[in-house]
Amino acid sequence: MDLFGDPATWLPLAFAALLGLSILIYVVLDGFDLGVGVLFPFAAPDEKDRMVASIGPFWDANETWLVLAIGILLVAFPSAHGTILTALYLPVAVMLVGLILRGVSFEFRAKAPIRHKGAWDAAFYIGSMMTSLSQGYMLGMYIMGLEVTAFTLAFSAVTAVFLTVAYSFIGATWLILKTDGALQLKAVQWSKGGIWGVVLGMGAVSLASPLVSERIFDKWFSMPEFFLLLPLPLMSGALIVLLWLALRRLPTSDDSFAWFPFAATIVLFVLGFFGMAYSFYPFIVPEQLTIYEAASAPESLFIILIGTLFVLPMILGYTALAYTVFRGKATALSYE
């Protein structure tokens, strides 16, 4: 246990990294399938079936990353878990109701009498919206240190909208990858319409975080950190330019580069996430509680870590298997 020095130091860090990894994977994976739900009203009925088919085999596993993230928060940082979740009581409730609605709509829309399909489609859209908006709202509140003032509420309302648009963007890029024909063409249009949300959202968070916290300001704008961190915004900017150029040329006649917008968006999400993680480290409740103060007993963390090191590669392995089995353009879902 003392292999890497004091376990009270490296264990919380290891778990913060695991927590970050789970949240990141969740935001990317459930991000695209939530985004597909957000785009629902813009699609024709037969396109909706295809859109659901593109996420049907994945959504459940995607959502499990949220359970893992909340589980790690609960397990590794119990006091932070309590503080954050009680502070976000209402948005969490809204998100849960949203997740319930969309999760069951997947099944009901295909199994209920055909005359009810429209209602379940609406529930799927509403559920996706509630989930995305509340997650964006929670992101805003978290950045603002979980304090409720008129300004933080306004800021959180803005992040709620931007995150929803960002999800719809990654959802649209997923559809470019997984569909063809008229729907793919539509997806390209949706991506063009949504890219501003990503730009403004990342911009708003990047500007607001250092402005509300002197500590974060100093972390970014002191020497030599400023120059060391410079590649982060520069790469993000370059990616956005590349994305825009790609979207103007897609879809190509031989469907080459259909993967590019989705892949580029993932990288963009990763960059944005690293920026945020850097800003908030070592705090888990912004400016109140560090990961070291909030961590559980090392004995308990250690027994989880051992299991995690065995199981996580397996999870990643069979997740990869599922994406390989259902690779290529989405076809109608069938139990046959």
Sites for another protein among residues 252-311 (CB under 8 A): 296-297, 299-300, 303-304, 307-308, 311
User: Which residue, 117 or 219, has its beta carbon nearer to another protein?
Assistant: 117
Q: Which of 26, 106, 167, 190 binds another protein (CB under 8 A)?
A: 106
Record the tokens describing residue 269, joined without a space. Answer: 């999400």
Distance in Å, CB of 304 to another protein, minimum: 5
Q: Which residue has the tokens 């489609």?
A: 121
Contact 63, 128 (CB under 8 A): no
Q: Which of 10, 229, 277, 319 binds another protein (CB under 8 A)?
A: 319
Q: Cα(first)–Cα(last) distance of the chain, in Å?
A: 50
Our finding on whether 178 is near another protein (CB under 8 A) is no
Distance in Å, CB of 73 to another protein, minimum: 8
Element holding 284 (H helix, E strand): strand 283-285
- Interaction residues for another protein, span 65-94 (CB under 8 A): 66-68, 70-76, 78-79, 81-86, 88-90, 92-93
Contact 1, 298 (CB under 8 A): yes
Q: ω before 224 within 30° of 0 (cis)?
A: yes
Q: Which of 28, 43, 109, 179 binds another protein (CB under 8 A)?
A: 109
H helices of the chain, in order, are 7-38, 45-55, 59-76, 78-87, 89-111, 117-143, 150-178, 181-212, 214-221, 225-229, 231-249, 260-280, 291-294, 298-325
Size of site (CB under 8 A) for another protein: 71
Q: How far is CA 181 from CA 29, 262, 312, in A?
A: 24, 18, 37
Our finding on whether 148 is near another protein (CB under 8 A) is no
Record the tokens describing residue 53, joined without a space. Answer: 């088919």
Our finding on whether 103 is near another protein (CB under 8 A) is yes
Contact 2, 11 (CB under 8 A): no
Distance in Å, CB of 115 to another protein, minimum: 11
Q: Nearest CA to 183 among 70, 47, 82, 59?
A: 47
For residue 283, the cross-strand partners are: 290
Distance in Å, CB of 263 to another protein, minimum: 22
- Interaction residues for another protein, span 12-71 (CB under 8 A): 46, 49, 52-53, 56-58, 60-61, 63-64, 66-68, 70-71
Record the tokens describing residue 329, joined without a space. Answer: 């353009």
User: Which residue, 38 or 121, has its beta carbon nearer to another protein?
Assistant: 121
Distance in Å, CB of 291 to another protein, minimum: 15
Distance in Å, CB of 179 to another protein, minimum: 14
Contact 307, 234 (CB under 8 A): no
User: Which residue, 225 or 299, has its beta carbon nearer to another protein?
Assistant: 299
Residues 6+ apart with CB under 8 A from 72: 15, 18, 19, 22
Stretch that binds another protein, among 96-104, 145-153, 167-175, 247-255 (CB under 8 A): 96-104
Distance in Å, CB of 224 to another protein, minimum: 39
User: Which residue, 28 or 84, has its beta carbon nearer to another protein?
Assistant: 84
Q: Which of 17, 44, 96, 270 binds another protein (CB under 8 A)?
A: 96
Q: Which of 107, 147, 214, 225 binds another protein (CB under 8 A)?
A: 107
Instruction: Say which amino acid occupies 230.
Output: L
